[in-house]
Amino acid sequence: MVQTSIITVNFRQAEVTIDFLKSVAKSYSPTQVEVIVVDNGADKNMELIFHPHFGNIKYIRSKKNLGFAGGNNLGIKQAKGDYIFLLNNDTEIPFGCIETMISELQANDKIGLLSPLLLYFHQKDLVQYAGFTPMNYLVARNAYIGQFEKNTGQFEGKSYQTGFCHGAAVMCRKADLKKAGMMDETYFLYYEELDWCEKFMRIGKQIWFTGKTYVYHKESISVGKASALKIYFNTRNRMLFIRKNTGWLNTIFFSVYFTLVACPKAVFKYLLKGEATLAKWTLKGLWWNYTHGKNSRDLGYKIK
């Protein structure tokens, strides 16, 4: 039985996913890991396209686009490994990455979710993620640790508890996952990994970062820097996250701030830039929360 199941979600990016599989094949044999490729919103079966690039692929086709959470959940349900390693298809991993991650988990049973150092693929000496600061739940804001810093080894060999994992690369034990539960598919895209961290913390586990290994990340290939999709789901899910993970009093304070300050400020900014479409989708993301329950699967956005 393989020790580790790697799960990656493909959404109409075959060449990107092939590069990912090639990076896994450089370091690992099919007897060591299984790679589960979830083909999200797939118009046709791409299994034969992916199989030549790694010897132990489980291909799952979903004709419907289930989003990041739904796609990963499909893969998790069929994973055989004792360790589950979620990796974006736009990442590439170095030799020894999986062993290092597993060693960190084995050394500390308090760790529920573990993310490695993330470096920008196209500028490999630049840090994207070395952890997150704690969340300010009144405004639903936190910050990256280390982002845009030149990588001079400042995080090398360090492991520490952090605010949240990073969805581009995160590992857990299957046993812990069964207790914490799957990703919440209500989110579809964005904030689902933060919500997942909250689930793990509710079963008494901690969220950790390790700089003992790293992953290269080709940031924003799927969605883009400022698209209607990104603006809508970031707005919608920021409020949804607070509704699901804080008490009623905090939710009220946040809702007042978000409705009367944060969203109007964003709308005004987009209008000044002549981006009326982004302003519209900001308001749509806000309004969704006032018209839907916390577990509604109605996205309020047409996914193409």
Which has more pLDDT, 295 or 193? 193
The pLDDT of residue 104 is 98
Query: How many angstroms separate the most distant Cα atoms in the chain?
Result: 57
- For the stretch 161-215, pLDDT in tens is 999 999 999 999 999 999 999 999 999 999 999 999 999 999 999 999 999 999 9
**What CA–CA distance (Å, rounded) separates 194 from 244?**
11
Alpha carbon of 10 to those of 3, 72, 146, 209, 292: distances in Å? 23, 10, 28, 25, 29
Side chain identity at 245, as an amino acid letter? N
- pLDDT tens track for 62-100: 999 999 999 999 999 999 999 999 999 999 999 999 999
Q: Which residues have CB under 8 Å from 205's CB, separation 6+? A: 110, 111, 112, 113, 176, 180
CB 168 within 8 A of CB 215: yes
Q: Which of 33, 35, 41, 34 minimizes the C-alpha distance to 10?
A: 41
Q: Three-state SS string across 15-59, please?
A: HHHHHHHHHHHHHCCCCCEEEEEEEECCCCCCHHHHHHHCCCEEE
User: How far apart are alpha carbons 12 and 227 in whole angstroms?
Assistant: 17
Q: Where are the beta strands (DSSP E) in 73-193?
A: 83-87, 91-92, 111-120, 127-129, 159-161, 169-173
Residue 288 has pLDDT above 70, yes or no: yes
Q: Given this model, what pLDDT does residue 301 score?
A: 86
For residues 12-37, average pLDDT:
94
Percent of the chain past pLDDT 90, that is, above it, reads 90
Q: 221 pLDDT exceeds 50?
A: no
The pair of three-digit structure tokens given for residue 278, joined into one six-digit string:
């982004």
The angle subtended at Cα 191 by Cα 161 and Cα 231, nearest 5°, is 135
Q: Which residue has the tokens 């209500």?
A: 186
